[in-house]
Amino acid sequence: MDIYEQITKMADEIAPELVAQRRDFHKFAEKGWFEMRTSSIIARKLTEMGYEVSVGDQVCKKDARMGVPSDEELEEQYERAVAQGADPEFVKYTKGGMTGVIGILRCGEGPTVAMRFDIDALGVFEEKDKSHRPACEGFGSVNEGFMHACGHDGHATIGLGVAKVLMSIKDSLHGTMKLIFQPAEEGVRGAKSIVENGHLDGVDYLIGSHVSDKAADDPAVVIPGSHGSLATTKYDVFFHGVSAHAGGSPEKGKNVMPAVATAILNLYGIPRNSAGMSRINVGTVVAGSGRNVIADVAKMEIEVRGETTEINQYMEEYAKNIIEGAAKMHGCTSEMKVMGSAYSLTSDQALMDRVRRVCEEKLHLPVSETTSSRNGGSEDVSYMMRRVQEQGGQATFMRILTKESAPGHNRRFDFDEQALPNAVKVFCGTVYDILG
């Protein structure tokens, strides 16, 4: 039996184990920077397999994290993680939202291959009707308002499966494998803090993936790469004015309401850019305290996006000028806080070609005719890809094809769990082709 056959056999044998693990992560869903139970379990399993494990502030640079919840929320989630069976040795390192895990396997001289698996859930209320498989089979989220509605429970599980298979063939590998279990991908908040901690320095190859829907009659299990992911920046915007009696002395106030309204109208009026697509959205506005009070505080959540990093920067600068000008026009002040960001991404042709060749010729897995899938959203794996590529390395963001029950971020989202062993095969086969 050659190594590729060994990879295939083991991935199929551990499929029931992968399904059980994915369902456990799904049941105890945790949002970004709350993944305390999830991180502790991953760290325990990697340690038991024999990996060199990093946790806590060894993984994410604390001050480089974006969109971190309040201390009170983090403490509440820590207590819940402990109550829900977090590993007692490792959960303590996650206090304060220091989540994420890295497992390293060193097999002598050779290239360094990093693999990225995101682990966070979304702020979605999961469907409880029994027509929804997780609800019917008892693994629907027990954490109200948190749901794995984008497949990251599967991604984390794939990472653990990859770790197990690679450890079983380590004597045939030459180089270093770095398995990165990343927190807070939703809102593109987590990858930057891992990059700034130096974990992508010296990496020659980076492989990431995301589950994606396919037609029922499509036999393909993977698209080798992605492109077109939009660069983005997310902001919390605050307007500050002066309150006053709306009837008795309105002239003594500085009203944030017209400032916010002016900003919204002009944000949506930012001119398009001939170099590519751009996006702007005002997602929420919270302001005011009563009908007879001049509002003195407002909070607005916005995002800009661009087909390229440069177009996104164009949108950023325009938005900043609009918000500052709108505030000044009405005697108010403004501040903008970055809550998340990502670059545009493009997968390397050579690595996509390698994935295709390995799958078709060695693993005998059907590959999509499409080599690179266009991704219309944003992905903070772009931070990791950019770091590797600017060092002269190669990176790809694959699409693991599966049948989904509903679109991502929907309360009825679920996927065909055959994607789990399939993805393990693709990752491990590609790594072996590089390091074997």
Question: Cα angle at 351 between 215 and 221, to 5 degrees?
Answer: 20
Q: Which residue has the tokens 């270093």?
A: 176
Looking at the structure of the chain, the number of domains it has is 2
- Residue 57 CA, distance from chain mean position: 18
> How would residue 377 be classed by pLDDT, with cut points 50, 70 and 90?
confident
For the chain, percent helix, then strand, then coil, each to nearest 5? 40, 25, 35
pLDDT in tens, 380-394: 999 999 999 999 999
- Residue 382 CA, distance from chain mean position: 10
In this structure, are 120 and 210 located in the same domain? yes
In this structure, are 162 and 86 located in the same domain? yes
> How would residue 376 be classed by pLDDT, with cut points 50, 70 and 90?
confident
In this structure, are 13 and 60 located in the same domain? yes
In this structure, are 302 and 405 located in the same domain? no
In this structure, are 303 and 161 located in the same domain? no
Asked if residue 179 has pLDDT above 90, the reply is: yes
> How would residue 214 be classed by pLDDT, with cut points 50, 70 and 90?
very high
Tokens matching residue 8: 């295939």
In this structure, are 356 and 306 located in the same domain? no
Would you tell me how many other CB atoms lie within 10 Å of the CB of residue 350?
Answer: 10
Euclidean distance between CA atoms 156 and 154, whole angstroms: 5
In this structure, are 271 and 282 located in the same domain? yes
The residue out of 280, 313, 342 marking a domain boundary is 342
The domain that contains 289 carries what CATH number?
3.30.70.360
Average confidence (pLDDT) over 257-282? 97
Residues 6+ apart with CB under 8 A from 390: none
Would you call 297 helix, strand, or coil by DSSP? strand
In this structure, are 216 and 312 located in the same domain? no
Per-residue burial over 372-403, b = 16 or more CB atoms within 10 Å of its CB, e = otherwise: bbebeebbbbbbbbbbbbeeebbbbbbbbbbe
pTM for this model (two decimals): 0.95
In this structure, are 176 and 118 located in the same domain? yes
The residue out of 305, 327, 342 marking a domain boundary is 342
Average confidence (pLDDT) over 205-210? 98
Please report the beta strands in 38-100, taking only residues with DSSP state E, as ranges in sequence order: 52-54
In this structure, are 12 and 118 located in the same domain? yes
In this structure, are 265 and 200 located in the same domain? no
pLDDT of residue 94: 98
Using a 10 angstrom Cβ sphere, with 0-12 exposed, 13-18 middle and 19 or more buried, the burial of residue 291 is: exposed
Euclidean distance between CA atoms 51 and 40, whole angstroms: 14
DSSP 338-370: EEEEE--EE--HHHHHHHHHIIIIII---B-S-
pLDDT of residue 375: 83
Q: What range defines the domain where residue 22 resides?
A: 3-229+344-435
In this structure, are 236 and 353 located in the same domain? no
The residue out of 300, 327, 342 marking a domain boundary is 342
Query: Do 226 and 373 contact (CB within 8 A), yes or no?
Result: yes
The domain that contains 121 carries what CATH number?
3.40.630.10
Euclidean distance between CA atoms 119 and 183, whole angstroms: 6
pLDDT in tens, 307-357: 999 999 999 999 999 999 999 999 999 999 999 999 999 999 999 999 999
Tell me what the pLDDT averaged over the chain comes to. Answer: 97
pLDDT of residue 1: 81
Helix (H) or strand (E) holding 402: strand 394-402
pLDDT in tens, 230-249: 999 999 999 999 999 999 99
Would residue 25 be called left, alpha or beta, if left means φ above 0 and alpha means ψ between -120 and 50 degrees? alpha
Euclidean distance between CA atoms 60 and 98, whole angstroms: 7
Helix (H) and strand (E) counts in the chain: 13, 14
